[in-house]
Amino acid sequence: MRNPRGIALIGVTLALGVAATIEPAFGDPPKLSDVDVQVDDADRVRQVTPRTPRSAPEGQQDLRSAGQAHAGHLALRFDTRVGDLEVRSSRSTGGGGIVKLQQIIDGVPVLGGQVVEVLDKSGALVSAHGKVARTRDGAFPEDRDAAGTGAARAAVERAAQDSGNRTEDLRAVSTEPYWYDKSLFEEGATRAAVPAFQVTVAGEQPEDLWSVIVDANKKSSLAFWSETHEALNRTVCDANRRIIDSRFPWTFACGTAFQISRKEGNASSAIDDVNKVYDFFGDTAEFYADKTGLDLTNLIGVDRWDGAGKALRATVRACARVDGEVHCPWRNAFWHPLAQQMVFGEGVSTDDVAGHELTHGVTEHRSGLVYRGEPGAINEALSDIFGEFVDLTNGSSDDTVANRWKIGEGSTLGVIRDMKNPSAHNDPDRKGSELWHKRFDTPRENSRFVHINSGVGNKAAFLIADGGSFNGQTVEGIGIDKSAALWWTVQNMLTSSADYAELGKVLNTACRQNAAGSVAGTTSADCDQVDKAVTATEMTRELRRR
């Protein structure tokens, strides 16, 4: 899954255009004695924790008002020297609520520039985490539409150059303006936000989907990564082994390109893949509704005006051209963010794969994790985690002890990852592992990075749920129900540029929020076990106190 706009604006309460007033005097970061501040190796503020919760002003205790009241204070604490922090969404939790602030410069968002406030039930600020750009360089051209058109052309040319495709075989499918600060995503990069466009480029084969960041003025490529990701009203269509073209979603859209083979309430189809996906969509939707209260269809369903209404949609038994050759059967599956539906090759539909791909859609609309580097790895981990939770709770016949925490069992792909033992598939189980994949400066390397380095999050999820001894820590598992509640709070609490350092802090914060509200029976003792899992997987080892 991926988010073509890189930022989640869909929560529950939206407060657009409400800016925090930032106090002047942008010299060195202030010396503050009333808060604990954690910074990373680049001395960028990552978390601010008042030593006692900071109360909201009288009459501003509701989430939206309290979040706005704290925003100016946090702009100073996070050393926000350019732009404003705007309240973009708020969401209640068992222990209080979460308010997401987006950094805005001249009306345009900073990609990955976000701060999340954690509030108690009175609206008091408990903690805040995130990252912001501190400087800017340049301005958007006066004719932004023309600049966007030029950026789209440049993005297609860059994608063609790196992928070996012809430019005429590629298509820019979306172009969105952002300020882009490379240091929000890469250690050691130049720290300045520049005006840019995020362009999504699609090719003919399903694996060809990229994001290209293009300088709005120079039309040079600043970043380039692959967006490829290896439902209750349900509609499932059968491609019947026809070839799809991912440049044009209408060539595989269920309900338009292909007729519906089975929709909600209908009898079984003669096609096994159709029935499996229909059932697994139901399992995933039921899990989210039961464990998180989320209406999956309402969040990621789509209406194609075909009489089926807003529905979770999938096309199965699709074939594809890969590297110029027709693959039929095609051994893959993906969530397409623009079509808002899933596509399966023949024989790859399993409960954990379906749950994994649908969770990419959830992540797109909740945390909005950018599908690049560490945010992309966490994106993949969240999909594995919730996909496996579906697998472990739906009573399927393959839920054996030997298969527990394995991804892909029962499909034509076979087991592709082991969350209990990531190193069995050459994936890292901690941040300091020799298996940690370091490069992600090309689309191919990024695709490897996000799928390999998801192992750290996967190992943490296993330890939190089932427990075990690892890397000097002995963790007592808290079970699936509490784990599901924990990771759901995490999903809503992460910023779009979150790295593992942020995930580690958010796991701790989310657990304590759940314990404060007794969510799923979570206790402070459970949070001690979560802390141990974070320590064992070395997520926060790069953070230090200022």
Name the pLDDT band for 309 (thresholds 50, 70, 90). Answer: confident
Q: Is residue 319 part of a domain?
A: yes
Residues 88 and 170 in one domain: no
How far is it between the farthest Cα atoms of the chain?
70
* The pLDDT value given to residue 2: 37
* The pLDDT value given to residue 232: 57
Residues 250 and 337 in one domain: yes
Q: What is the pLDDT of residues 76-107, one digit of tens each?
A: 999 999 999 999 999 998 889 999 999 999 99
* The pLDDT value given to residue 24: 34
Q: What is the pLDDT of residues 343-380, one digit of tens each?
A: 988 888 888 888 998 999 999 999 999 999 999 999 99
Q: Which of the pair, 494 or 444, is modelled with greater confidence?
A: 494
Residues 394 and 483 in one domain: yes
Contact 395, 434 (CB under 8 A): no
CATH number at residue 217: 3.10.450
Report pTM.
0.86
**Residue after which a domain boundary falls, among 169, 196, 226:** 226
Q: Which of the pair, 164 or 457, is modelled with greater confidence?
A: 457
Residues 334 and 240 in one domain: yes
Residues 67 and 169 in one domain: no
Q: What is the pLDDT of residues 116-171, one digit of tens each?
A: 999 999 999 999 999 999 999 999 999 999 999 999 999 999 999 888 889 999 99
Residues 237 and 358 in one domain: yes
pLDDT at residue 511 tops 50: yes
Name the pLDDT band for 230 (thresholds 50, 70, 90). Answer: low
**Residue after which a domain boundary falls, among 226, 249, 273:** 226
**Residue after which a domain boundary falls, among 362, 385, 417:** 362
Domain count, the chain: 4
Report the phi/psi class of residue 96: left, alpha or beta, with left for phi > 0 and alpha for psi in -120 to 50: left
Q: What is the pLDDT of residues 14-55, one digit of tens each?
A: 222 333 333 333 334 444 458 899 999 888 999 999 999 999
Residues 263 and 202 in one domain: no
Sheet order of strands, 341-344 included: 260-263, 234-238, 312-316, 341-344, 333-336
Q: Is residue 136 part of a domain?
A: no
Residues annotated as catalytic (active site), given as ranges: 357, 451
Residues 370 and 517 in one domain: yes
Residue 155, SS3 per DSSP = helix
Domain that holds residue 116: 35-130
Residue 421, SS3 per DSSP = coil
Tokens at residue 221, please? Answer: 């490529």
Helix extents (H) in 104-191: 144-163
